[in-house]
Amino acid sequence: MTGSRIDSGGLIDRAKPLGFSFDGRAYSGYSGDTLASALLANGVRVMGRSFKYHRPRGVWGAWFDDPNAIFGIRLADDEFPNCPATTTQLVDGMQARAVNAWPSAKFDIKAGLDLFHRWLGAGFYYKTFMWPGWGLFEPAIRRMAGLGHLDLNTVAGYVSDQLHDSCDFLVIGGGAAGLTAARAMAEAGQDIVLIDDHPELGGGLYRRGLAIEGETPQVWIASQHKAIRQAGGRIMTSTTGFGIFDHNLVGLAEDRGFSRAPRLHRMRASRIVMATGALDRPITFANNDRPGIMSVEAATEYLGRYGVLVGRHIALVSNNSFAGQAAAQLRAAGAEVTGCDATQGPIRALGGKHLSGVEVGGKRYGCDTILASGGLTPIVHLWRHAGGKLNWRDDLAAFVPGNPMEGMIAIGAANGTFDMDEALAEARSVVKSGGASVRGDHYSITPIWPKPGAKGRQWIDFQHDVTLKDVEQAARENFVSVEHLKRYTTLGMASDQGKTSNMAGLVAMASIQGKSIPETGTTTFRPPFVPVPLELYRGQNRGHTRNPLKRLPLEAVHRAAGAAMGEYGGWLRPGWYGEKSAEDAIRAECAMARKAAGIFDSSPLGKIEVMGPDAEAFVNFIYYNTIRTLKPGAIRYGFMLTERGIVYDDGVISRLGPQRFVISCSSSHVDGVNANLEAWRQDGNDPDRLFVHDTTANWATVTVTGPKAREIVAELGTDLDFSPDNFPHMTFRETVFLGAPARIARVSFTGDASYEISVPVASVETLWKTLIAAGGSLGAGPVGLEALSVLRAEKGYLIIGKDTDGETMPHDLGFGIPRLKKQAEYVGDRSLYSEVAQLETRRQFVGLAVPERAGPLPTGAHLVDTRDGRTVSIGIVTSSYDSPCLGKPIALALMECGQERMGEQVTVLHLGETRMAQVTSPCFLDPAGERLNA
């Protein structure tokens, strides 16, 4: 006989039956069941297979401590892998399967692996598959390893809400101690939050079964609940405190039911009361992993909470004083219970798939179920997350919270106070004295620990199949530190994170080494305390809500003109316009811009104003190029370097007046440049003599470029004379458009005469429409970013971050003069004379020419040197296009000693294919600058 449902008792609702299936067979349970309790009630014992040996396993625990029953669950269209059966609430229609078994947990085809256990000890895979190479075996081994199947379909709406909250006191754990402390503090006027991970408050009171303060558990719990609410306290159930982080931030995961993402509460608590209780720990004995062996705590929990009696003939093997009470409860529910003193010698489970008995110290007891308790282990994980120390208590044979911590106390069983009256007194003292430990002698235990050299296969970590022999082997091979032991044997690395196995493992190592338990120590406790989906941390922090696109004021106008919008450097910008294919549209726009003019939206260009008496010296220091000599009304191109001498940004600097500059940096670098300017302004300069103001969002900019650009801008009706003599390249003018200020800069990113017209955002639509109308009659029109990329490459204008990399210095780009001539200090100056900066083999910016019909080179292809019989990369193709204006492909590249190799042929290698190209100047169009200055 195995488990069965009793007629009354528990928190389940017998009026609400629920249907579900497990490994293809139909069962039924009740509302309030977990999958594990419902299966036990149906007499199912084998709920999983172990990770390595595929041994049949049943549940050991009744809640988060169970390492064995892990299911893939399908409900309607949603499928989730690796759900613990003991903590998953049963829902009508669930189809569950054991994850590491096929076709079922009961008859698993890989069960035969267990026959080879002698050879499959710790380190087997590392040692065996070394020759000729791990890489050869890895794919097959990886396929065998791992648990569960990932359904690649995403579950619609599976998004975690993320809430921020705070309170005076956060009480973690809604058992007797937590409820009492929460009530006392709430009634003392504190803002308290009480959380518990079960759907119902009460903690261990249901499994304890006894009256508390003269009332039944249900009545007592309800009255605490009511009193806490009345005093203004907040209560959250189905909510786990999974981690404590810096400055008393507690991560709370609120379970919202199957297939719904849990909700994250970031709770900032002034003080934390840890009332997390204690766990029963396993006894390490021969065949202690058989289905039907479970903790005493779990058996009473299944009885008290779910109305399930786990067996009829029970052997209760224990070493502590709490066993008697559990035996009485199980007997009252109809079981036959034989108490066995676990300290009376070696223990061995008898029988195979079905238990037939247990042998303790040579005496045999017949039974169908073995309940084991090796003593209570306080749940101290959160204490360790918060940085608290642990003390070993010999009288309890357990680690308990040690030194007092500011902002956090532990009470009740979590503090090693296992007696109910004492725990309640301790909880009440929290409000007065901040928690005084009450020590009594109601709990007694005779420690029993794993005995090295003991006979039989004695499991320490159930889920990862680590046995006592593996720990002994690790010790022989000198993996003696508990942290090494853990990583070598994978003890404690399963999804239960060693809640049941860590103590046994470290104690085994301690006794092998002849050391004390505190000397051996524990492994590090890390969040999360229970497995949580990564979604919990992500929430809305995804995609465009994490990194919102910047939008143009003219977006609607572009869309109306048929723009294909795309992301460019964080901005949503027109890639090209019209109905044609991308390739045709881009070619047509390039041709139009060179023949007549192109009109494009360049609003994202940086417009950072630097003002003040120290502005000139500051800009001169920030820029590689000399800016001090710039005259008002003039513009200069320059590089901004990092202190390591690497080119960070290029842009143009306009001087509006003696103490006023506008930095027009790359569209995608505005935030970074602004932060860099602010850093130097405040940390190294007098911030009262210097002001930096990013006005990028205030001004919208439209650029007109091409041979007809002048004629088009003349139609704007400004008071400006656009003739080249009066408005030459690299100057700007301030004027008025639509009664508002306008700035027109003659700078070019295409190699043709260009006018960048910046106006307040409110005027830009009129500006755009005026220019499009004026351009239309001259054969000009809008061009997108893709055409612009081609146009600038024809002229050899570079894009920082595309045509440069994290090693590029200004002299690599043909801008070596300030390095040689500039006297004043500037950012990165000293680095330009480091050993690496002076290497002759630096990668330099060049152009690559290929024959007309050859097609463009692949961007990212390597330039290689094949002399000496070796293929060595000497550079990369950074930009490559088929130029419609030049009628041939062009490319830009970074190449070792590129400047010296002009005219030479170079081999270009890409995905195994080689081509030849000729090294040229990067400027393919108008090297004399006639079009530019026209």
CB of 351 or CB of 672, closer to other proteins: 672
Which range, of 153-161, 239-247, 439-447, 543-551, touches other proteins by CB under 8 A?
Answer: 239-247
Beta 249-254 vs 263-274: how paired, if at all? antiparallel
Among candidate residues 674, 680, 642, 696, the one with its CA nearest the CA of residue 804:
642
Select from 108, 162, 284, 833 the least CA-distant residue to 536. 162
- Residue ranges in 143-172 that form contacts with other proteins under rule CB under 8 A: none
Total residues in contact with other proteins, by rule CB under 8 A:
26
Dist. CA 344–CA 340, nearest whole Å: 8
d(CA 178, CA 181): 5
| Cα–Cα distance for residue pair 260/251, rounded to 1 Å | 18
Regarding 685 and contact with other proteins (CB under 8 A), the answer is: no
Residue number with CB closer to other proteins (540 or 682) = 682
3-state secondary structure of 114: helix
Q: Of 101-109, 675-683, 763-771, 839-847, which segment contacts other proteins by CB under 8 A?
A: 675-683
CB of 884 to other proteins, least distance (A): 44
Q: Residue 393 interacts with other proteins (CB under 8 A)?
A: no
Stretch touching other proteins by CB under 8 A, among 243-251, 277-285, 468-476, 612-620: 243-251
672 binds other proteins (CB under 8 A): no
Rule CB under 8 A: say whether 14 interacts with other proteins. Answer: no
Stretch of 1-9, 97-105, 740-748, 829-837 lying at the interface with other proteins (CB under 8 A): 829-837
361: alpha, beta or left? (left if phi > 0; alpha if psi -120 to 50)? left
Contact (Cβ atoms closer than 8 angstroms) between residue 378 and residue 302: no
828/58 Cα distance (integer angstroms):
66
| 8 Å CB contact between 424 and 176 | yes
Choose which of 7, 579, 835, 868 interacts with other proteins (CB under 8 A). 835
Instruction: Decide if residue 389 touches other proteins (CB under 8 A).
Output: no
Q: How far is CA 264 from CA 182, 256, 506, 804, in A?
A: 22, 11, 33, 42
Beta carbon of residue 724, minimum distance to other proteins (angstroms, whole number): 39
126 vs 245 by CB, closer to other proteins: 245
Residue 582 is a binding residue for other proteins (CB under 8 A): no
**Residue in 17, 548, 613, 684 binding other proteins, rule: CB under 8 A:** 684
Q: Among 540, 682, 777, 871, indicate the residue that binds other proteins (CB under 8 A).
A: 682
C-alpha 207, offset from chain centre? 38
Stretch that binds other proteins, among 246-254, 315-323, 544-552, 732-740 (CB under 8 A): 246-254
By CB under 8 A, residue 825 contacts other proteins: yes
**How near is the Cβ of 834 to other proteins at its closest, in Å?**
7
> For 387, left (φ over 0), alpha (ψ -120 to 50), or beta?
left
| Of the residues 8, 433, 545, 823, which one makes contact with other proteins according to CB under 8 A | 823
Q: Does 839 bind other proteins (CB under 8 A)?
A: no
In sequence order, which residues have a C-beta less than 8 Å from that of residue 114 and are 6 or more positions away? 53, 54, 55
Number of helices and strands in the chain (H, E): 25, 49
Report d(CA 210, CA 329) in Å as an integer.
Answer: 9
Query: Is 721 near other proteins (CB under 8 A)?
Result: no
Is residue 821 part of the contact set for other proteins (CB under 8 A)? no
Work out which of 402, 687, 760, 856 binds other proteins, going by CB under 8 A: 687
Read off φ and ψ for residue 576, nearest 5 degrees.
Answer: -160, 175
Q: What are phi and psi of 441, to 5 degrees?
A: -130, 35
CB of 645 to other proteins, least distance (A): 10
Of 441, 683, 719, 725, the one binding other proteins by CB under 8 A = 683
Cβ 432 to other proteins shortest distance, Å = 27
562 is a site residue for other proteins (CB under 8 A): no
**Which position among 341, 678, 807, 865 is part of the footprint of other proteins (CB under 8 A)?**
678
By CB under 8 A, what part of segment 251-290 binds other proteins?
266, 268
Among 107, 126, 158, 245, binds other proteins (CB under 8 A): 245
Which string of DSSP letters, residue by residue, matches 422-450? Answer: HHHHHHHHHHHHS------S---B-----
Candidates 211, 219, 697, 824: give the one binding other proteins (CB under 8 A).
Answer: 824
Q: Cα separation of 443 and 648, whole Å? A: 68
Within residues 106-145, the interface with other proteins by CB under 8 A covers none
DSSP secondary structure code for residue 762 in this structure: G
Residue nearer to other proteins on the CB measure, 385 or 795: 385
- Binder among 735, 831, 907, 918 for other proteins (CB under 8 A): 831
- Which of 726, 680, 684, 694 has the alpha carbon at shortest distance from 606? 694
Residues whose CB is less than 8 angstroms from the CB of residue 873 and which lie 6 or more positions away in sequence, other chains included = 862, 863, 864, 865
Nearer to other proteins, 203 or 828 (CB): 828
Residues 6+ apart with CB under 8 A from 345: 360, 361, 362
Which stretch in 138-146, 366-374, 749-757, 825-833 sits in contact with other proteins by CB under 8 A? Answer: 825-833
Identify each DSSP E strand in 602-677 by its residue range. 608-611, 635-641, 647-657, 660-665
Q: What's the rounded Cα separation, in Å, for the pair 423 and 635?
A: 77
User: Per CB under 8 A, which region of 10-18, 127-135, 792-800, 819-827 contacts other proteins?
Assistant: 819-827
Stretch that binds other proteins, among 65-73, 295-303, 731-739, 826-834 (CB under 8 A): 826-834
Segment interacting with other proteins (CB under 8 A) among 69-77, 786-794, 817-825, 874-882: 817-825
Closest to other proteins by CB, 141 vs 679, is 679
Which lies closer to other proteins via its Cβ, residue 646 or residue 864?
646
- DSSP state, 731? B
Site map for other proteins, 635-654, x if CB under 8 A? Answer: --------xx----------
Residue 688 binds other proteins, judged by CB under 8 A: yes
Q: 660-684 burial by CB neighbour count: b if 16+ within 10 A, else e?
A: bbbbbbbbbbbeebbebbeebbeee
Which residue lies nearer to other proteins by CB, 834 or 873? 834
Q: Which is nearer to other proteins, 684 or 927 (CB)?
A: 684
Report the residue from 118, 142, 143, 247 that binds other proteins according to the rule CB under 8 A. Answer: 247
Candidates 6, 111, 188, 249: give the one binding other proteins (CB under 8 A): 249
Q: Is 163 helix (H, G, I), strand (E, B) or coil?
A: strand
Nearer to other proteins, 166 or 343 (CB): 166
- Burial label for 423, CB within 10 Å (0-12, 13-18, 19+), is buried
Measured on CA atoms in the order 526, 527, 528, 530, is the torsion positive or negative?
A: positive
539 binds other proteins (CB under 8 A): no
Looking at the Cβ atoms of 187 and 191, the one nearer to other proteins is: 191
Q: Please identify, using beta-carbon distances, which residue of 405 and 454 lies nearer to other proteins.
A: 405
In three-state form (DSSP H/G/I as H, E/B as E, the rest C), the secondary structure along 353-389 is CCEEEEEECCEEEECCEEEEECCEEECCHHHHHCCCC
Return the SS3 of 705: strand
Q: Which of residues 206-225 bind other proteins (CB under 8 A)?
A: none
Residue 679 in the binding site for other proteins (CB under 8 A): yes
Please answer whether residues 828 and 641 qualify as being in contact, where contact means their C-beta atoms are separated by less than 8 angstroms: yes
Interface with other proteins (CB under 8 A), residue from 805, 829, 865, 926: 829
| Local structure of residue 798 (DSSP, 8 states) | -
Q: Which residues bind other proteins (CB under 8 A)?
A: 245-247, 249, 266, 268, 387, 643-644, 675, 678-679, 682-684, 687-688, 823-826, 829-831, 834-835
